[in-house]
Structure formats: C-alpha cells, structure tokens
Structure 1
Amino acid sequence: MSDDPQSEATEQETAEYASPPCFMHELDPEFRLMPLRSDAWSDVMRWRKAERERLIAERMAMEQEQRQTRSTRIASKLDATLGKLGGRIVGTYWPFRGEPDLRNWGIGVIKRGGRLALPVVIQKGWPLEYRIWAPGDPLERGVWNILVPSRGPAVQPDIVIAPVVGFDEARYRLGYGGGFFDRTLAAMPRKPLTIGVGYTQSQIRTIYPQPHDIPMDVIVTD
C-alpha cells in the first residue's frame, strides 16, 4: 500500500511550508521556462502534478510481464540491501497503479523471521498508522479502495519500504501529493531505515525539495 494520491488542492494544504522559498531556480535552468507566480510553492505544486501524471502514465503503460520482471529484480536487490530480517518489523505496501509488486517478497520476509506491517490512512491530514499483517489476516478496503489490515495494533516499523512515483539523485521521493509519508516519518518517535522503491525510468533530475520533504536513506530500482 502506498502514500496515496491527492488532488493538487490537497497538496496545497501544505502551503504553509512555502517559507523558506523554494530554490528551483538554483537547481534547474529549465525552471526559467516555467510560468512564474508570486508564490514559488505554487510553481512547485504545478510542476509536481504534471510530472506525477507523466510518470504514472509511463509505468501504467508497461506490460504486466515486464512489470513483474522488474519487481522481481527490485525484490532481489532489497534482499541484498537488508540482509537478515529476523525479529524486525518491515513496513511495506499493497501495490497500486502500477507500483512494483512486492507481495511475494513480503511473504519471504515472514519466512525469514521478520514481520510485515501495512500502512492505513486514519484521517486526512494525519500520519499513517502501520498495522501488523500476515497472510490469512483479514483485510478491508481502505482509502482509494486499497486493501488494508482491518484490525491490529499500531506498530513502529524498523524498516519502511515506500514506493516512489519519482526520485532524484539526492534520494528525495516524489509521492502522490497527499503528504502522508513525510508526515508519518516526522511523527515517528524513532526514525526507521527508509527505502524508496521504483522503476529506473522514475529517476528525475530533482523533485525541487521543500523544507517538509524528507529524503530516503536508500533508493532501490530494477
């Protein structure tokens, strides 16, 4: 499951983060080609919205077999990155809109002695709540019709696997615009190891990071 899509209007909820001003003009000469507004954050939002739509359309256009092959490669690289998982809680996700499908990999985590937790949207504007889940545990349809654990205590993951719509060289993640993931990390009492997963073509020069954006520790692609 993922940090789920919101409209541009929803992303505007975080407009209070517009200060300090964005530094898009310092990072990318193409910024000069963008129509400027008096509020730099509004430019970032418009750009992110368009880039988000482009990247999602690209991955949705992939053949299912190709997507599965790439997901398998990502799973293998995750194994190499993480090593032993016994006793650790891994926050993962239920795939949505062409995201890498790591469900079989998650079952492997359980077989290796780890535990899985899936994120649940509790309320708009709130952090996500991670709940322990294993095959056979009940699921229900949550926000955007994504399957989530229907019950279970909230837990603190040791590792969080987050799908990316896009990512840049500084490991900043372009998500769906709802702000759930950054809000969740900011609220956690201790920071987990954060790993963004996505397809190679999801890499872009910059997401034009803002003060509220939190970079991933690692990005894993196919």
Structure 2
Amino acid sequence: MESKAETRKKMINFLIKMSKNDKKEQSQKIISKLVSTDNWHKSRRVALFLPTEIEFDLTPLFKIARNEQKEILIPKCLPQRKMLFSVYDPNALEKSTFGILEPKNPKAVTPDYIVVPGLAWNKAGYRIGFGGGYYDRYLADFTGKTASVFYNFQSIDFKEESHDIMVQECFTTQQ
C-alpha cells in the first residue's frame, strides 16, 4: 500500500490533469446531491473552503448557501496547526503562507455544518488531506455535521490512522 505522501502526489497529478469541463460537470452533480440532504437543509452556519485551482470547485455551493440565507464561514490557519472558522467576506481576504485565501480579521464562529476538503477518501469516510492536520485537529472536538465532496477517482482504499477523523457524509457521482 502506498504512503500518504505518495497518495497525495498521485491525487494532485490527477486533479491537475482533469479537464475543466469534466470538473464542472461532475461538481454540479455532486453539489446537487449534497444540497438535497436533511443535514444541509437544517444547517444555518456552513463552513466551506475557498478552493485552490486543483481542488473541487465549491463556487456553486457558495451561491446556493447565500441564496438560502445561510451564514458562510471559511477557515483560517493559526499557529501550532490550529484552525478556526470566520464569516466569509469576499472583500476582506488575504493569502496565507499556503497560498490560500483566508479572512483578514478572523473572529471565531462555530459552524453547524462543515464541508471538509481533502485529496482522497476511503469507503468509511476517512480522508487524506494536504498533510497539515488542521481539519483533523478541529474536527476532534466538533459536534456538528460534516460532509465531503470529491471526484470518483479520489475514492481509494487506505488504512486510516488513529488521529484521523471520519467525515459523516461523502458525495461523489457514484452514489
């Protein structure tokens, strides 16, 4: 079985090579599955992530959340690999050291629903992220609902580690 580092590298290469059309088409189908769930409908404060060019495109989900008058939160990385979520204001963002857009003046707000990013997921809902452990640390004490959206090829077999936190709902075009 390949290492997490090897899996990350392989998934990043697949994501880079995926056509924009294929991404857009799959993303729309997957997002419509997510927004039809009870957990999504019941949520008021949704934590989303601002995707990099290679990540799953959540842009339509931001629009849906806004139209449904949900409060949108985005992550901010802190020292010691900690993270918080803060209200999304497209006019008050700055690039982090990771090259990700984050809130300039973050005030911690607790979401009731988090869309968790990553690079690979197993059938049980455990994920391989980008390697910082920010989400696993945050989710260790989180009591709300979690979901992930990803492309079919990102569903693979791997053994989770003791510090990994399972995502409650996973959405791809396969279900």
Using structure 1 for the length normalisation, give the TM-score: 0.72
**2:71 match:** 115
Number of positions where the alignment pairs a residue of Structure 1 with one of Structure 2: 172
Q: Does 1:204 align with 2:156?
A: yes
Question: Which runs of structure 2 are paired with 1:66-105 in the superposition (5 Å)?
Answer: 66-81=22-37, 82-85=39-42, 88-105=44-61
Which of the two has greater strand per residue? 2
**Secondary structure of 1:194's partner?**
strand
Which one has a bigger Cα radius of gyration? 1
Distance 1:97 1:66 in 2: 14
1:152 to 1:47, Cα distance in 2 relative to 1, 3 A? closer
Distance 2:132 2:106 in 1: 24
Distance 2:170 2:93 in 1: 28
Q: Does 1:217 align with 2:168?
A: yes
**1:178 match:** 132
Q: Tell me how large the CA RMSD over aligned residues is.
A: 1.7
Q: Does 1:169 align with 2:123?
A: yes
- Superposed CA deviations along residues 4-60 of structure 1, whole A, max 9, x for unmatched, are xxxxxxxxxxxxxxxxxxxxxxxxxxx5xxxxxxxxxxxxxx711011110110111
Distance 2:118 2:87 in 1: 22
- Shift of the alpha carbon at 1:126? 3.0
**2:105 match:** 151
1:171 to 1:67, Cα distance in 2 relative to 1, 3 A? same
Identity %: 27
Higher relative contact order (Cα pairs below 8 Å, separated by 6+ residues): 1
Contact in 2 for aligned 1:173/1:196 (Cα 8 Å): no
Contact in 2 for aligned 1:196/1:216 (Cα 8 Å): yes
Contact in 2 for aligned 1:68/1:100 (Cα 8 Å): no
**Secondary structure of 1:144's partner?**
coil
Opposite residue 152 of structure 2, the aligned amino acid is T
